[in-house]
Chain A
Amino acid sequence: MISRFPPWFAGALTVAGLFIIVNLIVAAFTLPAPPRVEPHPRSTNSAIDPSSIPVTPQGLAGEIDSGSPTGPSLISLEMRENVDFLLTPALIVQGCITEGSIVTYPEE
């Protein structure tokens, strides 16, 4: 995919981030409505009738956030680890040159 923006200027939101946003918006409008009592439940190929499972906003959010390999929080935690790692070499070296410090690996 060729960026219409020149290199250097497009460092913030990546293609992956945009993909997730689009998916979330699409998901928001395609999620099933809260269950209602139906006289004749739809038949499905699943052993469990989905209409019998209570749908809550929390459940839907959890499904979206946890079920997807590109969960929106997970991808941000991945970014957090990489950004915070820029401190790691400095923190290890600081442990090596500070009297009274034991060399340890910093948290991420």
Chain B
Amino acid sequence: MAQKAFVCGVIATLAIGLTSAAGPLAARMLQLPTGKPVGVVAFDCIIQANAPIAAEKSAFFLTYAVSPEAIAYDILWAEPCWETVNFPCPPAGLSVHAGVDTFSARHTLNNVDWTHSLPTVARGVFTHTCNNYPVDESRFALQESLARRLKTEDIPALERALPGMSLASASRSTIGEPLPDRPGRPATNVIISAHSPDTTQLTLSTEQPSDVREFGYSFVEGKLTTLLGVLNETTVPVGGFEIRAASPEFPQGAIITQLPARRHPGGRVVLVTFSPEQLGEVDVDLPNEITVKEQYRHGLAQGADLLRRATISNYRTLPSMPSPEAIGSVFTTDPLFGREQEFRKLLASHWMHPTDTVPEADAAWLETFAADCERLIATESRLPIRLKLRFMSIASDLITGHHDRAETIGFQAYLAELRGIGLADIADRAAVQFASIREDWGNID
């Protein structure tokens, strides 16, 4: 009996020893950044979104709230504000809240809601045309991203993908190790192409030949500093056009219907830089800049085109995640919200109209409003709100005939704000647009 107990004890000790050794060994061999629980995090973000095909450049100023279960954002301001913004709806005033069960989008200023249950069906054929894309369809992107996210349960497969570690792939025709099956994630194989204490490079591929994603992590003293990704061409089913000219064979004339076609919007090189942040008592590596460039337009060696850049700042914790019911409350709780709505009505009525056609009462209201905006600018610390106040003040001055004051004081300060955050392109275009507005003011047909 004692002998049996001794043997069991030895086996148990060996098992424990082997099990505990596997963790550090694996961690030493394969460095991967894993999430740290810090609760609910909020941050501010400026997103530059270039659209080379549409020849448009835009910038969005957002505030985010993120928990492990939900994400939310509000677009506080967007540029260019003097002309159309390349976006499916007027961006400022849009809010999105996505949790486990629902995806909601609300445009508070226009009082429009879109709410969907999650999970939803797969995206299917992409049928949008002529620069249109409903914002609430971001729910598909959300689901696809969550399904494809790597998790710690994938680590055993990732470790098997280390060079010389594979037991399974030698007997299979596929390249790389398969990741565990997960709902929504296409069958995915992984290859670890390089690994050291400072670097991990992996390649993920699916059965779709062009769907290949390469990621490289860089660490300094165990802290994540950069994530470099190359997202190769991904094939997307696209709805096209069927157009028939009027003729004896096609008497119905010109019609536009859907036609399955395929498109490759991939070829993206992404770079995410991280910096350590102290949130509560936890040190966590969080992104401070995300850039996306187009790989194939000119080639990386000649400098790829910047498609998008997100600049993130002001990380802070929140006591709880804002509820879906509170969506858009950042706008409605603003003390200026009611007057802003009134300003928008007057803007719609009097924009570009001759000053002498503006009723005295409206002009008086706008003059008071412009003065109040100027007072608020002096104490407002949030950049997007300052830009909005400047816009409302300048636009009020234009409507009430104070064009010189608008240009020499308000508009120059507004341009300086944009240039100060690196949006010189948008500032330059705004200056041209503003000059045209002044020149054409009052010429309403």
| Residue among B66, B292, B437 facing the most chain A CB atoms (10 A cut-off) | B66
0/1 per residue, A64-85, Cβ < 8 Å to B?
Answer: 1110011011111111111111
* Number of chain B residues whose Cβ lies closer than 8 Å to a Cβ of chain A: 118
Provide the residues of chain A in CB contact with B75, threshold 8 Å.
Answer: 86
CB distance from B395 to the nearest CB of A (A): 7
Cβ B243 vs Cβ A73 within 8 A: no
User: Which residue of the partner chain A has the closest CB to B258?
Assistant: A61
Cβ A108 vs Cβ B351 within 8 A: no
Cβ A103 vs Cβ B227 within 8 A: yes
Q: Which of B2-10, B143-151, B327-335 contacts A (4 or more CB under 8 A)?
A: B143-151
Cβ A100 vs Cβ B151 within 8 A: yes
Is residue A31 within 8 Å, beta carbon to beta carbon, of the partner chain? yes
Residues of B233-273 whose CB lies within 8 A of A: 236, 238-247, 249-250, 254, 256, 259, 261, 263, 265, 268, 270, 272
Cβ B395 vs Cβ A66 within 8 A: no
0/1 per residue, B207-240, Cβ < 8 Å to A?
Answer: 0000001010100000010010101000010111
Provide the residues of chain B in CB contact with A70, threshold 8 Å.
Answer: 53-54
| Residue among B88, B154, B284 facing the most chain A CB atoms (10 A cut-off) | B88
Known contacts A65-B241, A102-B33; decide if A8 and B130 are in contact (CB<8 Å).
Answer: no
Provide the residues of chain A in CB contact with B126, threshold 8 Å.
Answer: 73, 76-77, 80
Is residue A58 within 8 Å, beta carbon to beta carbon, of the partner chain? yes
Majority SS of interface residues in chain B? mixed
Contact of B243 among A24, A102, A107 (CB under 8 A): A24
Provide the residues of chain B in CB contact with A66, threshold 8 Å.
Answer: 261
Alpha-carbon distance between A92 and B129 when the two chains are bound, in angstroms: 29
Contact of B145 among A64, A83, A98, A106 (CB under 8 A): A106
Is residue B43 within 8 Å, beta carbon to beta carbon, of the partner chain? yes
Cβ B64 vs Cβ A101 within 8 A: no
CB distance from A21 to the nearest CB of B (A): 5
Residues of A6-59 whose CB lies within 8 A of B: 6-18, 20-21, 24-25, 27-34, 57-58
Cβ A102 vs Cβ B151 within 8 A: yes
CB distance from A4 to the nearest CB of B (A): 7
**How many A-B residue contacts, CB cutoff 8 Å?**
326
* Number of chain A residues whose Cβ lies closer than 8 Å to a Cβ of chain B: 76
Cβ B347 vs Cβ A87 within 8 A: no
Is residue B73 within 8 Å, beta carbon to beta carbon, of the partner chain? yes
Contact of A3 among B39, B68, B84, B249 (CB under 8 A): B84
Cβ B133 vs Cβ A100 within 8 A: no
Cβ A95 vs Cβ B149 within 8 A: yes
Known contacts A87-B145, A104-B149, A107-B145; decide if A11 and B89 are in contact (CB<8 Å).
Answer: yes
Q: Give 18 pairs: A residue, B residue, CB < 8 Å, sorted on A.
A: A11-B85, A30-B245, A31-B245, A33-B247, A58-B259, A60-B242, A61-B241, A61-B242, A66-B261, A74-B263, A87-B96, A90-B71, A93-B287, A93-B312, A100-B151, A103-B34, A105-B213, A106-B141
Q: Given A6-B351, A97-B68, list of 11 further CB < 8 A pairs?
A: A2-B440, A10-B90, A17-B130, A25-B254, A62-B261, A74-B265, A82-B49, A86-B60, A87-B145, A100-B35, A102-B35
Q: Which residues of B contact A (CB under 8 A)?
A: 32-39, 41, 43, 45, 47, 49, 51-56, 58, 60, 62, 64, 66-68, 71-73, 75, 78, 81-92, 96, 98, 126, 128-133, 135, 137-138, 141-142, 144-146, 148-155, 213, 215, 217, 224, 227, 229, 231, 236, 238-247, 249-250, 254, 256, 259, 261, 263, 265, 268, 270, 272, 284-287, 290, 292, 307-308, 310, 312, 344, 347-348, 351-352, 391, 395, 436-437, 440, 444
